[in-house]
Amino acid sequence: MRNGHEGYTYDHQRAIDTVGETTMSERATLRGSRLGGTSFEDESGIEFAPRQRVSYDCANGHEFEIPMAEDADIPFTWECPRCGAESRQRDGSQPEAKADKRARTHWDMLLERRSIPELEDILSERLELLRTGEIGPVHLHRSRRSRATSKTSPRTTSKTKKTA
């Protein structure tokens, strides 16, 4: 059966079979709207948070205002929306510069646990253990006699091996 438009037909049986189902074109909320478009909610009965307008002056002579909440911490500087330069608050006073906190090094943390005399005692004990060969790398633990013999005996080089 034709519904008055040339080339379009309406299937009555399909419409009866799909009473519980709705097609996308039948959904009223999507008809005529676009994604990310305007909201269909009205603003009646909504109380907005109290605002204040903060004025900034750019170093390049630009002036602009930024709306902010009344209870917000207002920054003294703001980036200029025209040129990107740092702008200063017109009516505000510059905040006091905070002292930079020094980074804690391993030495600082060590000094929190030990005093300088304690560290000197520990160092001397460890150096003595290293000298006696009780601790440290294996190549440092050769006996003095083997060191003495290795110094007096000539080492063979690649040239002496070829001639011998």
Residue 2: the pLDDT is 46
- Residue 76 tokens, joined: 């003294």
Place of tokens 């000298």: 131
36-40, 62-66, 91-95: segment of lowest average pLDDT: 36-40
Across 143-147, average pLDDT: 52
Within the chain, residue ranges assigned H as helices are: 12-17, 106-113, 116-132, 144-152, 158-163
Residue 35 within a domain: no
The answer to whether residue 43 is domain-embedded is no
Domain count along the chain: 2
- Give the confidence band of 30 by pLDDT, cuts at 50, 70, 90: low
| pLDDT of 81 higher than 90 | yes
**For residue 55, what are the β-bridge partners?**
65
- pLDDT band per the 50, 70, 90 thresholds, residue 145: very low
Residue at 31 is within a domain: no
| Gyration radius of the chain's alpha carbons | 42
Give the CATH number of the domain where residue 74 resides. 2.20.28.270
Residue 119 has pLDDT above 80, yes or no: yes
Residue 157 confidence (pLDDT) above 60: no
Whole-number average pLDDT of the chain: 76
70 alpha carbon, distance to own chain's centre: 29
Q: What is the pLDDT of residue 31?
A: 57
Same domain membership, residue 58 and residue 84 = yes
What average pLDDT does range 9-15 have in this prediction? 52
Residue 105, Cβ density class (10 Å: 0-12 exposed, 13-18 middle, ≥19 buried)? exposed
Q: Judge whether 65 lies within some domain.
A: yes
CA distances from 107 to 11, 32, 137, 148 (A): 85, 69, 25, 39
- Measured distance CA(80)–CA(66) in Å, rounded: 10
91 CB-side CA count, 13 A: 7
Band of pLDDT at residue 1, cut at 50, 70 and 90: very low
- Does residue 18 fall inside a structural domain? no
Task: Report if residue 44 sits inside a domain.
Answer: no
Most confident of the following: 13-27, 87-101, 131-145, 149-163: 87-101
| Domain limits for position 65 | 53-89
Token pair recorded at residue 25: 């074109």
Flag whether 62 is in a domain.
yes
Confidence label for 47 from pLDDT (cuts 50, 70 and 90): confident
Q: Is residue 59 part of a domain?
A: yes
